Structure 1
Amino acid sequence: MAMRKLQITAAAVALLLFFSSTSDAQIFDVTKYGAKADGKSNIDKTLMSVWKLACASTSPSKIVIPKGTFLLGEVKIQGPCKAPVEIQVQGTVKAPADPSSFKTDGWLTFNYIDKFTLSGGGVFDGQGKIAWEQNDCHNNTNCKRTPVNLRFNFITNAWVHDITTLDSKNFHVNVLGCKNFTFLRFTVTAPEDSRNTDGIHIGRSDGIYITNSTIGTGDDCISLGDGSRQVHVTGVKCGPGHGISVGSLGKYQAEEPVSGFWVKNCTLTNTQNGVRVKTWPASYPGSVSDLHFEDITMVKVGYPIVIDQVYCPWNLCKPDIPSLVKINNVSFKNIRGSSSTAVAVKLVCSSKVPCKDVVVGDINLTYDGPEAPTAYSQCSNVVPSFQGKQSPRVCA
């Protein structure tokens, strides 16, 4: 524990030193290079030309998108750069509303950049309504993938703060192959019925920090894919949405292990699930370890505590074949509030590889509804250890 705190502190100090170095950065205001804040004129070419100038600079630089409304098409921001670069968005940047105008599954994609900042208090509006209406992925396995608002691929030592992503057509943020990446005061907003609009999805990344942020969307607020390591979520408000999830895992061959996930001091409100680990039945082998959920408030949350190794959305699986994903060293501590379902704690593990080293401590979850007189738990293929008081009784 002491070593982990030391690692977090060292990362924070390194980021602080880096970000202080950009305070005297050279400024590139996109409106000085031809961009118009009229919500109609496309700024793709302007942003790309300004990025090339900033990225080639040997001293820190800052690209400014000032207040106003700007139209931006599909863009890839490419590194590496010669010095730290910040993009400061003060206004609203809008995507084309028609999903057919995109050639790939990314709207604004950042690739291979070190020492990068995205800030400014601005908004990235994905204008996702048409895409949501056309989304048939719930019954079509060959559905067309729509663009993610913000893709971060292989970014290191980065800070995204005081930014809003609004109404993405697909995931709001996808983090892939990144290291030492912090989201601070980050906001995700989309309607509860917007399909597949995960707030922040993380995969094959190490050292991701999500702090003091607000996420309300139509899917998972935060989701971890395979290869996620040392992810820290603190002070996040989640809801509406599907909760904070690890997985789903095991669907694909050669998935990397998930290891090290801390969720602390968070509040979930009116979400379909609370904190959840989900793996597919009939899965490929995999592993999940070192997951810790602590000091969490649930407000009318469905299934507040979940391990589900028979995860089978839309019945597109073989639920009678057990999952081969191993789950161990998981703790749920000091989780309190209200459940909108009678099943407040659901620990359904694999009969082939039962969960190991699961700790449940100081749970206080209430239920007031027609399903049952009081909250209760469901458990299979797991023998948890207990600390403190449990209400409802878990695996009794």
Structure 2
Amino acid sequence: MIDKMFLLLLIVLSFDGSGIGKTVANWGSGSTSGGGGGGGGGGIRGPLHSKHKGSSFTAIFNVKSFGAQANGHMDDTRGYLKATTHLSRYGSSAGWVEFGWVEGLTLTGGGIFDGQGATAWPYNKCTTNSSCNLLPTNAKNFKGSGINIFAPANSPNTDGIHIERSSSVYFSRSLIGTGDDCISIGQGNSQVTVTSISCGPGHGISVGSLGRYPNEGDVRGLVVRDCNMTGTTNGIRIKTWPNSPGQSAATNMTFENIVMNNVTNPIIIDQAYCPFASCTSLAPSRVKLSDINFKNIRGTSSSAVAVTLECSKGIPCQNIYLEDVHLDLMLSGNKQATSSCRNVRVKYIGTQIPPPCVFN
């Protein structure tokens, strides 16, 4: 058998006059003959960048530089890319692996990106600093599947996947365990579909937080379907800030076929969201929530209140549907979970455990 040499990451960019690049990336594609362990180790000395406009760029990374043998015996199909822990090498605005101004990117195969995040966690102040830097997040026509993301439950602000200012995004068949939202849907998104995600540990799958910054875009056309939550601090959550500087909307969203396993707050809308120690504003959120469907949500709740719908008194929620919800209280004895609702009228269909809110 002829030995084969493989590329850990191959990036080929050819730009036309419009500045739109055509990119192909193969992550650990192919294999040498034989089985066994192996694969690349070590790390690239500095960030990988593909952010060029109006020019040509080619970057080739040979797996032999990262520990691959290509000797006919070792299995080198799985690459291993480790981030540097020298934070100064990233500069003031650089990311680790970053693609920009590209079209037609395909990243396939098996491999591991090890961000070595614990080194940077002490520098993360987003849980206490209301003006921490925002990350660059926007895409169009993106599909991702078979992506496994892991971080400890106590890791700060480590969203597994954050989607913002994007359209036609599809995520499926992934395992996510982290210290924050497994998936968070930020502002300015449309036509986002999330299916077959297993989440835990983490804060669940969240829309938001919304309404914190001026000129935020609306969220429309979200579908979350066939997902499992295990031991998370929230299940399906929609969170918006009080005292919004501008008005926006989140509408036409469906959460369907979701299994909750010992989840705190399995279904929660929180329009007075504030994670800081002190939140003094009494002004209501100006994010309008409407046309939201929770269908076939089942499993167990670790909190007494399994369904919380706390909407804005300034713009109450409209057209909220709960259909076939069955959430038993974990280790309850003879007790049953309850519901809590404010500033909302809910339309109930089919099974309702816990019982619907009683409106006076």
In the superposition, the TM-score normalised over structure 2's length comes to 0.81
- Match of 1:235, SS? strand
Deviations 1:164-183 (A, max 9, x none): xxxxxxxxxx741x111111
CA, structure 1 residues 62+200, in 2 after alignment: closer, same or farther (shift >3 Å)?
Answer: closer
Q: Which residue of 1 aligns with 2:127?
A: 138
Match among 93, 96, 101 for residue 89 of structure 2? 101
Q: What value does the CA root-mean-square deviation take over the aligned residues? A: 3.0
Which amino acid is 2:272 matched to? V
Confirm whether residue 333 of structure 1 aligns to residue 295 of structure 2: yes
2:272 to 300, 310, 314: 310
The letter for the 1-side match of 2:51 is: Q
CA distance, structure 2, for counterparts of residue 319 and residue 304 of structure 1: 27
For the pair 1:56 / 2:45, whether they are aligned, the reply is no
The letter of the residue matching 1:309 is Q
Is residue 183 from structure 1 mapped to residue 148 from structure 2 by the alignment? no
Deviations 1:12-34 (A, max 9, x none): xxxxxxxxxxxxxxx99548xxx
Identify the residue that residue 71 of structure 1 maps to in structure 2: 43
Q: Distance in 2 between matches of 1:64 and 1:334?
A: 38
Give the AA of the match of 1:255.
Answer: E
Structure 1 residues 131 and 372: alpha-carbon distance in aligned structure 2, compared to 1, 3 A threshold: farther
CA distance in 2 between partners of 1:206 and 1:112 (Å): 16
Task: Give the match for residue 157 of structure 2.
Answer: 196
1:388 matched to 2:346? The reply is: no
* Residues 1:121 and 2:79 are matched in the alignment: no
Q: Percent identity?
A: 41
Q: Output the amino acid matched with 2:192.
A: V
- Counterpart CA distance in 2 for 1:365 and 1:322 is 30
Equivalent residue of 2:217, what SS? coil
Provide the secondary structure at the position in 2 that maps to 1:106.
coil
Q: 1:359 to 1:126 in 2, by over 3 A?
A: same
User: Do 2:306 and 2:339's aligned partners in 1 also have CA atoms closer than 8 Å?
Assistant: yes
Matched residues in 1 for 2:95 and 2:23: separation?
Answer: 27
State the alpha-carbon separation in 1 of the partners of residues 202 and 279 from structure 2: 23
CA contact (8 A) 2:23 2:105 kept: no
Contact 1:79/1:111 (8 A) holds in 2: yes
The answer to which structure has the higher helix fraction is 1
Residue 340 (structure 1) shift: 1.1
Q: Is the 8 A contact 2:210 2:241 kept in 1?
A: yes
Q: Which residue is equivalent to 1:268? A: 229
Counterpart amino acid of residue 222 in structure 1? I
Structure 2 residue aligned with 1:238: 199
Contact 1:308–1:348 (CA<8 Å) still a contact in 2? yes
8 Å contact kept, 1:200–1:221: yes
Cα distance, 1:92–1:203 mapped onto 2, change above 3 Å? same
The letter for the 2-side match of 1:78 is: K
Tell me the CA shift for residue 117 of structure 1.
0.9
Structure 2 partner of 1:214: 175
Structure 2's unaligned 5+ residue stretches are: 17-21, 30-38, 64-76
Q: After superposition, what is the alpha-carbon deviation per residue over 1:147-197, rounded to whole angstroms, capped at 9, x for unaligned?
A: x8xxxxxxxxxxxxxxxxxxxxxxxxx741x11111111111110001111
Structure number with greater Rg is 2
**Which residue in the other structure is 1:91 paired with?**
79
Distance 1:285 1:118, change over 3 A: same
**Residues 384, 74 of structure 1: CA spacing in aligned structure 2 closer, same or farther, 3 A cutoff?**
same
- 2:311 pairs with one of 329, 343, 349: 349
- Contact 1:182–1:210 (8 Å) recurs in 2: yes
Separation (CA, whole Å) in 2 of partners of 1:186 and 1:232: 15
* Structure 2 residue 282 is matched with structure 1 residue 320: yes
Conserved 8 A contact 2:286-2:314: yes
**Contact 2:239-2:271 within 8 A present in 1 as well:** yes
TM-score (norm 1): 0.74
**Matching residue's letter, 2:313:** S
Conservation of the 8 A alpha-carbon contact between 1:28 and 1:64: no
SS at match of 2:147: strand
User: Does the CA-based 8 Å contact 1:98-1:131 persist in structure 2?
Assistant: no
Rate the CA distance shift 1:62–1:181 in 2: closer, same or farther, 3 A. closer
1:4 corresponds in structure 2 to none
Partner amino acid, structure 2, of 1:91: G
Q: What is the Cα deviation at residue 100 of structure 1?
A: 3.9
Deviation at 1:144, TM superposition (A): 7.2
Report the alpha carbon displacement of residue 115 of structure 1 after superposing the two structures with TM.
1.2
* Deviation by residue 1:124-151 (Cα, 9 ceiling, x = unmatched): 1000112123433322345578xx8xxx
> Does the CA contact (< 8 Å) of 1:61 and 1:86 recur in 2?
no
Aligned-pair distance for 1:352? 0.6
